[in-house]
Amino acid sequence: MCVLLSALVHLGLYVPAAAQSMVSAPAEVRVNDTPNDGGASLTVIWTPSNSDGPDARYQILFGDSGVTDPALLKVIAEFPADTRFVKDVKATWWTRNAEPTWHQYAIRSGKDAELKDGTSYTVAVALRKGDDRAISQLLQAASAPNWFNWNQLNNLILALSFGGIVFYAISHAKRNEIFLRRIPGLDAVDEAIGRSTELGKPILYLTGAHDMSDPSTIAAAVILGRVAKRTAAYETELLVPHRDPITMAVCQEITKQAYLEAGKPDLFKEDSNFFITSDQFSYTAAVDGIMLRKKPAANFFMGSYFAESLLLTETGASTGAIQIAGTDSDHQLPFFVTTCDYTLIGEELYAASAYLSKEPVQIGTLRGQDIGKAVILSAIVLGTALATIGAVTGAQWPSLFLDLFKDVK
Amino acid sequence: MDATVLGAWVATGLTLFIFSFLYKDNPLFKLAEHLYVGVSVGYTIVKAYDTVIVHLIVKPIFEQGEFALLIPVAIGLLMLTRYVPKAAWLSRYAFAFIVGVGSGLAIPRTISSFILKQVEDTVRPVLSLAGGDGVTFSMNLLNPASSINVIIILIGVISVLFYFFFSIEHSGPGKIVARTGVMFLMIAFGAAFGYTVMARMSLLIGRLTDLIEFSDASYGNPTLWLAILTVGVLLVLSRRSSPGEQEK
Amino acid sequence: MIFLRRQLPLLITMVTGLLFAGQYYVPHPSSEQLLTSATKWLQIVGGFALVLGVTSLFHQHAAKIRRKEEGWGYSLVLYAGMLGTIAVGLWANGKESVEGAMTAFGWVYSYMMVPLQGTMFAILAFFIASAAYRSFRARSREAAVLLIAAVIVMMGRVPLGEYLIPLSGDVSQWILNVLNASVRRAILIGVSLGAVALSFKIIFGVERSYLGGGKE
Amino acid sequence: MTFSERMLKIDRRIIFLVIGLCTLLPLLYPVGLPIKISSEVRGVYEHIESLPERSVFFISFDFDPASKPELHPQAIALLRHAFRKNLRVVTMTLWVSGTGLADQIVTQVAKEMGKENGKDYVFLGWSPGNTAVIINLGQNLYKTFPSDYGGKPTNGLPVLDGVQSLRDVDYMVSLGAGNPGVEAWYVFGKDKYKFEMGGGCTGVMAPGLYPLLRSGQINGLIGGLRGAAEYESLIGQKGKAVAGMDAQSATHVAIIVLVMICNLFYFSMRRATGRQSQVGS
């Protein structure tokens, strides 16, 4: 293989000297360590020549350091001369260091060219058109691993600033009152409890499939506090079947507290929160049984749900109960939306819980996320406007902004 | 009896027992359901033992001498202290490690894949310079990259993002944007519902295909006999429980 | 003691969290080596986490049997299924098949686990139909929009629908590709912001419910 | 109670029966309606079609028996295509309860196509750790899976010749029924290790993956049984998915009819109650 290749190089080299004037050697060739990578790669950059075209081809020559005879270099790549431009490589304006119209080729360590970091190698570029071939000057370079990927700078800045915003918002929320809009679903909650009282039927409240480490379960527990307070005030029976023993213990505390706050501690029943089983379908079958036997007037489904959602809400709907759901499990949302009377969609669940709990960490996080969303919203609007201007006028300056939201590796 | 024939009988029986839930919750369903939990837990334990203990821990450590792997083993064992009340706090070290690494890995990757990439793709020129026609606005709805669709996607993304905005009251012009967001959400939910119908029906088709296959005489007609058995049991059970149900 | 029980775990979370978030931006081989080792460790620790999940189930049903609670016979069935599977599994060295021939473990898998799990979810087919019949009503403008989108997608996804109304295929494709994609994208961005915020809160010890392990 | 009200409160077991019959009858007496190919599925098919022989094709079967009817036919069709193109096929699963299924699928198709284990394909098995497994595969395949499913050491297998990590994979498809699935493979795999990637998923997951499809993060998507049926038609080997499509047609149309009837009764009921309240007032 090697012999064959070097034979090819020889053939290319010993073309008549007169023909060499036809094509000019690639000019301003630069060979550097490929930036922003883990090493073992060199990048070659050179200016376009006026012989560039589909019929001309560039060759990348490679060899050990100290080689001065181009004949001893190996051709490791060959491609049409109208390809491999700097602009084809995905990069941002702060990492691009050559004109977009120049040529660029990255030599990676592989079978043809084994690169060791710190060792220098000889590299040259040749332009071939028909039988003519011209070779640039021979350059020496060594590759090295890098400590930072500058292409991901925007990612890092975004991460740091968003983190900063969240913590700032949390500390701000600890000191000040922050406005949160009222979640309409909460009115529906009160209404459902009211109706249960009128009918003298119990209320069923589920906290979802996950344990207390999931934010949606925490939100469900917070909203349970609110519901329990109302049921205490109206003296309505509350049923909370659980799938996780720890969640049950926490919810028991929350319910007790709610009854205390409502001034009816004597009405609190320890067994209104009860554990069924952690298995998905046994739990579902049991809850369905409760729905059919006790016919609660209102069913609440808060927290995280999986395929069991439809089995629960469909049975609930068949008993004629008012159903209110709140979940961040987006794959189950369609079923809740169709079978329930009111659904807190996704983040509305967290917002409702933050609204009720008034806890600075929750409110602050929500506010921080809102700011994040606002930034993204404006970036999208502004970006679309700039991209359109760029596309219509062919101007380059919009990319100064657009590159900030580009994912480049 | 041949293992396949026995398998056909067992599989058919269990399938029918579970389907009996459609009539109502009954002991046959409960039996199959608990068996399901037991078998899948047993399966997981065997797989975890074989993969983790044998192939990822014992072999590399004793055959290749990778003693560094004792560290994750120690972390894993710490996790199990959760069940010893006095030493339960030790499990925190394990969770601290897992959750710490998990959160660290997630931050830049989430930003890259789900924020930057998604914003990058939403930000597209609304008008384009196509060939020699000058500035064009393409109206082709079927081409997702056409100008009209770029605008629709833009409206959808913005209005839905706005809907999940909790710092401002949804009133005035905000109300219109939020309402648009709701409409977009409903369309997406409708599409998801429609798509899911196919998913659920596929499961049913899969089970029925097996039942049809097992109704073959070469297996001894398990589907037929077991269906008769299941219905029979259900009838007996409902007879027996109907006077008792009044008490409940 | 409080340091060991409380601060040190939080410190570990913070150090590992920052380390592995930072790792992403560093292409140097030593940073890659760190990532390789850590993920290898997580793989092994993940195995133990699986055991943890299983044990709680173990406890629960053992208690049920011990106290002879209602339905303890089913718990016995569960145990029998589990122990039987473990026994055949270990006997077969944890392989469902050897050289293409099914082992006893493979038999349990193919003829018990596969039909059981498959049928559990197949039940949903019936419920989705009955939900469609009983709840899918155009009660409000939102509900009407949802309903129409669902019907179009249902039409466009099956050959008979496309045969009856040829346009439905293209329209459902457009709904999925454009309308649905835009909504999902917005949700994805929102959820991701939430996830990043949560990760930050965990790393800096603001959110610590994952530590669990009872009260302080 | 009016007729409409009574019809709306019909025992749901009657609907169960209708759906059962709509599924069963077409399965027993298939019709075979033609299936139109969507661009999402074509994306995956054409990419595999464009791969040169002996390219490395990586499939992760990220599903369990609960999604078997949808993803099993997809897996079979993809493997048949890959083997026919003489690709080197590397398979694994991230879902523990899917290990047995994945093993069956790979063994069955390989046997049918006369492929040799270790040379033309390998099944790496399952490993715990979810996303950690993906990252670790991207760093070093041999460290993640020191041995394959059968216990053979992976290092030195001819099928893995020249493959060090996910970076050396030419095309990757995750057949996902949830998490970890297609999204996880993108975020923790492709995002950094830059292999070309496609996806297959259940109907439940599919609508959520369209943003990734739009942005080119995945270059194709096989969605549910319909996607599998399209793929089966593309490779010209009809299987379980195509056979199931008639039943799908019947049940879908049945549900659409049910929805229409429901709304018909609903509106007639509303009009009736509206009239009543008018009379009352």
Residue A277 has pLDDT above 60, yes or no: yes
Phi, psi (deg, nearest 5) at residue D221 = -145, 125
For residue A90, the enclosing domain spans: 20-142
Alpha carbon distance B200, D225 (integer Å): 10
Which residues have a Cβ under 8 Å from the Cβ of D53 and sit 6 or more positions away? D85, D86, D87
Q: Answer whether A65's CB lies under 8 Å from A31's CB.
A: no
Residue B39's pLDDT band, with cuts at 50, 70 and 90, is very high
For the record, the structure tokens of B147 come out as 């100008």
The Cβ of residue C160 has, within 10 Å, a number of other Cβ atoms equal to 18
Asked whether residue C210 carries a pLDDT value surpassing 80, the answer given is no
HEC secondary structure over chain C: CHHHHHHHHHHHHHHHHHHHHHHCCCCCHHHHHHHHHHHHHHHHHHHHHHHHHHHHHHHHHHHHHHCCCCCHHHHHHHHHHHHHHHHHHHHCCCCCEECCEECHHHHHHHHHHHHHHHHHHHHHHHHHHHHHHHHCCCCCHHHHHHHHHHHHHHHHHCHHHHHHCCHHHHHHHHHHHHHHHHHHHHHHHHHHHHHHHHHHHHHCCCCCHHHCCCCC
Token pair for residue A126? 């040749």
User: Per CB distance under 8 Å, which residues of C are interface residues toward A?
Assistant: 21, 24-29, 32, 56-57, 60, 120-121, 123-124, 127-128, 130-132, 134-136, 143, 146, 150, 187, 189-191, 193-194, 196-198, 200-201, 204, 206-207, 209-210, 212
Token pair 């490589």 is found at A89
Residues in chain C: 216
Q: So what's the pLDDT on residue A20?
A: 45
Distance of CA B62 to the CA centre of its chain: 38
Q: What is the pLDDT of residues D37-74, one digit of tens each?
A: 999 999 999 999 999 999 999 999 999 888 999 999 99
Categorize the per-residue pLDDT at A366 as very low, low, confident or very high, splitting at 50, 70 and 90.
Answer: very high
Residue A71 CB neighbour total at 10 angstroms: 14
Q: Which domain holds residue D230?
A: 39-238
In this structure, the answer to whether residues D259 and D199 fall within a common structural domain is: no
Domain count, chain D: 2
SS3 readout for chain D: CCHHHHHHCCCHHHHHHHHHHHHHHHHHCCCCCCCCCCHHHHHHHHHHHHCCCCCEEEEEEECCHHHHHHHHHHHHHHHHHHHHCCCEEEEEECCHHHHHHHHHHHHHHHHHHCCCECCCEEEEEECCCCHHHHHHHHHCHHHHCCECCCCCECCCCHHHCCCCCHHHCCEEEEEECCCCCHHHHHHHHHHHHCCEEEEEECCCCHHHHHHHHHCCCCCCEEEHHHHHHHHHHHCCCCCHHHHHHHHHHHHHHHHHHHHHHHHHHHHHHHHHHHHHHHHHC
- Whether the per-residue pLDDT at D136 is higher than 90: the answer is yes
Q: What was the pLDDT predicted at A372?
A: 96
Partners of residue A192 on adjacent β-strands: none
Shared domain check, D59 and D181: yes
CA distance D179 to D201: 11
In a domain, A226, yes or no: yes
Residues of A in contact with D208 (CB under 8 A): 330-331
> What confidence score (pLDDT) does residue C214 get?
40
For the segment B106-117, what is each residue's pLDDT rounded down to a tens digit?
A: 999 999 999 999
Evaluate whether A115 touches A42 at the Cβ level (below 8 Å).
yes
Q: Name the neighbours of A, counting chains with at least 3 Cβ pairs within 8 A.
A: B, C, D
* D5 has a pLDDT exceeding 80: no
pLDDT for D33 beyond 90: no
Asked if residue A2 is part of any domain, the answer here is no
Task: Render pLDDT for D79-122 as a digit per residue (tens, 0 to 9).
Answer: 999 999 999 999 999 998 899 999 999 999 999 999 999 999 99
Query: What average pLDDT score do residues D156-170 get?
Result: 93
% of chain C surpassing 70 pLDDT: 97
Question: What CATH number is attached to the domain comprising A34?
Answer: 2.60.40.10
Residue B196: list chain C partners with CB under 8 A.
Answer: 128
Are residues A297 and A369 both part of a single domain?
no
Residue C124 has its nearest CB partner, among A156, A307, A365, at A307
Among A246-250, A351-355, C26-30, the range scoring the smallest mean pLDDT is A246-250
The answer on D131 and D9 residing in a single domain is no
Q: Would you say residue A40 lies in a domain?
A: yes
A192 and A164 both lie in a single domain: no
pTM of the model: 0.90
Residue A153's SS3 state is helix
End position of a domain, from candidates D208, D223, D238: D238
Q: In terms of Cα–Cα distance, which of D139, D144, D200 is closest to D174?
A: D200
Give residue A2's pLDDT: 42
Residues D94 and D128 in one domain: yes
A58 & A127 share domain: yes
Please check whether residues D148 and D254 belong to one and the same domain: no
- D207 and D263 share a domain? no
Continuous segment of H or E residues that includes residue A183:
none
Query: Which chains, if any, share at least 3 CB pairs under 8 A with chain C?
Result: A, B, D
B55-70: average pLDDT: 88
d(CA B83, CA B184): 48
Phi, psi of A321 (to 5 degrees): -80, 155
| CATH code for the domain in which residue D49 is found | 3.40.50.10160
Statement to judge: residues A383 and A252 lie in one domain:
no
Tell me whether 0.95 is exceeded by the ipTM: no
Please determine, for residue C215, whether its predicted confidence score (pLDDT) is greater than 80: no
Least CA distance to C50: which residue of chain B? B48
Residues A201 and A338 in one domain: yes
- Split at pLDDT 50, 70, 90, the class of B242 is low
Q: Compute the distance between CA of residue A382 and CA of residue A230 in angstroms, rounded to an integer.
A: 47
- Same-domain check for residues A264 and A327: yes
Single-letter amino acid code for the residue at A69? D
Predicted local confidence at residue D1, as pLDDT:
63
**Residues A261, A385 share a domain:** no
Mutate to test the interface with C, among B193, B226, B230 (most CBs of C within 10 A): B193
| pLDDT tens digits, one per residue of C180-207 | 999 999 999 999 999 999 999 999 988 8
Find, among D269, D254, D281, the residue nearest to D8 by Cα: D269
Mean pLDDT of chain A: 87
What mean pLDDT do residues C64-87 have? 90
Indicate whether A8 pLDDT > 50: no
Domain annotation covers residue A101: yes
Which of C112, C155, C209 is most worth mutating to test chain B (most B CB atoms within 10 A of its CB)? C112
Q: For residue A68, is it within any domain? A: yes
> Which of these, C95, C96, C59, C92, lies nearest to C78 by C-alpha position?
C59
On whether both D159 and D61 belong to a single domain, the answer is: yes
The answer on A194 and A53 residing in a single domain is no
Contacts of B195 (CB under 8 A, 6+ apart): C153, C157, C176, D203, D204, D206, D207, D223, D224
Quick one: pLDDT band at residue B132, thresholds 50, 70, 90? low
- Say whether pLDDT at B243 is over 80: no
Whether residue D191 is found in the same domain as residue D55 = yes
Contact A331 D204 (CB under 8 A): yes
- Mean pLDDT of all residues in A103-121: 86
For A309-332, the pLDDT digits (tens) are: 988 998 898 888 999 999 988 889
pLDDT at B205 over 60: yes
pLDDT of amino acid B130: 63
C141 pLDDT higher than 60: yes
Q: In this structure, is residue A1 part of a structural domain?
A: no
Percent pLDDT > 90 in chain B is: 40
> What total of structural domains would you count in chain A?
3
* pLDDT of amino acid B218: 85
- Per CB-CB distance under 8 Å, the chain C contacts of B18 are 116, 119-120, 123
| Cross-strand bridge partners of residue A239 | A204
Q: Can you give the length of chain B in residues?
A: 248
Residues A338 and A373 in one domain: no
pLDDT-derived band of residue A167, with 50, 70 and 90 as boundaries? very high
**DSSP label at residue A239:** E
Shared domain check, A336 and A192: yes
Across the interface, which of A213, A277, A314 has its CB nearest the CB of C212?
A213
Instruction: Give the nearest partner residue to A330 out of D12, D194, D208, using CB atoms.
Output: D208
**Chain-centre distance of CA D17, in angstroms?**
28
Q: Does A376 touch chain B (CB under 8 A)?
A: yes
Mean pLDDT (chain C) is 88
Express as a percent the part of chain D with pLDDT over 90.
Answer: 68
How far apart (Å, rounded) are the C-alpha atoms in residues D192 and D214? 19
Do D85 and D206 reside in the same domain of the chain?
yes
Which residue in chain C has the smallest CA separation from A350?
A: C194
Q: Are residues D111 and D250 in the same domain?
A: no
Does residue D209 share a domain with residue D129?
Answer: yes
- Residue C216: per-residue pLDDT: 36
Which chain C positions have a beta carbon within 8 Å of D224's beta carbon? 157
Cα–Cα distances in angstroms (integers) from residue B230 to residues B19, B23, B236, in the given order: 10, 11, 10
What is the share, in percent, of chain A residues with pLDDT greater than 70?
Answer: 95
Is A12 inside any structural domain? no
Sorting pLDDT into bands at 50, 70 and 90, what band is A3? very low
How do residues A30-46 score in pLDDT, each as one tens digit?
Answer: 999 998 888 889 999 99
**DSSP label at residue B219:** G
Give the CA distances from residue B101 to residues A160, B114, D55, D143, in Å, rounded to whole numbers and listed in that order: 17, 19, 34, 19
> A106 and A162 share a domain?
no
- What's chain D's average pLDDT? 90
Number of H helices, E strands in chain A: 11, 14
pLDDT for position A394: 83
Confidence at residue A237, expressed as pLDDT on a 0 to 100 scale: 93
Judgement on whether residues A111 and A196 belong to the same structural domain of the protein? no
